[in-house]
A and B are shown apart, each in its own frame.
Chain A
Amino acid sequence: RKEVEQDPGPFNVPEGATVAFNCTYSNSASQSFFWYRQDCRKEPKLLMSVYSSGNEDGRFTAQLNRASQYISLLIRDSKLSDSATYLCVVQRGSTLGRLYFGRGTQLTVWP
């Protein structure tokens, strides 16, 4: 079973839409969770960490369900600039340890 699995997408939504991405992870020892964003042929960039109580950063809301080993990302009021691939990432143990990436979900926001 893959360490991190995501909706493959692609998602194509109009500007202003709300879109949700899901992710599951296989290792219950995972302790830290993140959403990264990756533009075409560029490096991954941290979008937000995901906390057990859920957290919000502007238009972005992340949720974590440890019992189900499930992570989600909700984007409200989508902008053209949100078009990218969204990577679900988990980390076991130390915050200095290796990251396990999902394959990513591609989002295209159209005008």
Chain B
Amino acid sequence: EPEVTQTPSHQVTQMGQEVILRCVPISNHLYFYWYRQILGQKVEFLVSFYNNEISEKSEIFDDQFSVERPDGSNFTLKIRSTKLEDSAMYFCASISREAGSPLHFGNGTRLTVT
């Protein structure tokens, strides 16, 4: 079964540094998402992306965050200047346009900001 893959699995960075989290969605999927989950809390929506532009973003997705699809396969989330409270699991997800198809999550990147 095709998978959404994310790298790295764990990223440690210092406060104020920029990080880029990478995702390779399933190849025929057209809609892409980032969610995050702070330890012990619920999964929260960050942003959705379609046709090379953001289609929806949450209040969490402020100017420090950006997304990009630099080529035909990668989908990245950049955090410009990380804060301690950005420490979380970040999940990429993708979905095809077929009716009834499920959202596929990647296995996540654990970001630790020190």
Main secondary structure on B side of the interface with A? strand
Asked if B77 is at the interface (CB within 8 A of a chain A CB), the reply is no
- Count of chain B residues near A, Cβ 8 A: 26
Neighbouring A residues of B107 by C-beta, 8 Å: 42-43
C-alpha gap A102/B41 in the complex (Å)? 9
Asked if B12 is at the interface (CB within 8 A of a chain A CB), the reply is no
Asked if B15 is at the interface (CB within 8 A of a chain A CB), the reply is no
Query: Chain B, 35-73, contact with A by CB distance < 8 Å: what is the 0/1 string?
Result: 100000111110010100001101000000000000000
- Minimum CB–CB distance from A50 to chain B (whole Å) comes to 13
Who on chain B is nearest to A98 by CB?
B45
- Minimum CB–CB distance from A91 to chain B (whole Å) comes to 9
Instruction: Give which listed residue, B42, B50, B56, B100, contacts A103 with CB less than 8 A.
Output: B42
Who on chain B is nearest to A6 by CB?
B42
CB <8 Å contact, A46 and B43: no
C-alpha gap A98/B45 in the complex (Å)? 6
- Count of chain A residues near B, Cβ 8 A: 19
CB proximity to B under 8 Å, residues A42-96: 42-46, 87, 95-96
- Minimum CB–CB distance from B10 to chain A (whole Å) comes to 10
Instruction: Give which listed residue, A45, A96, A99, contacts B45 with CB less than 8 A.
Output: A99
Listed in ascending order, the chain B residues whose CB lies under 8 Å from chain A are 31, 33, 35, 41-45, 48, 50, 55-56, 58, 89, 91, 95, 97, 99-100, 102-103, 105-108, 110
Q: List 9 additional contacts besides A87-B43, A96-B95; criterion CB under 8 Å.
A: A4-B42, A43-B91, A43-B106, A43-B107, A96-B31, A98-B48, A99-B35, A100-B45, A102-B42
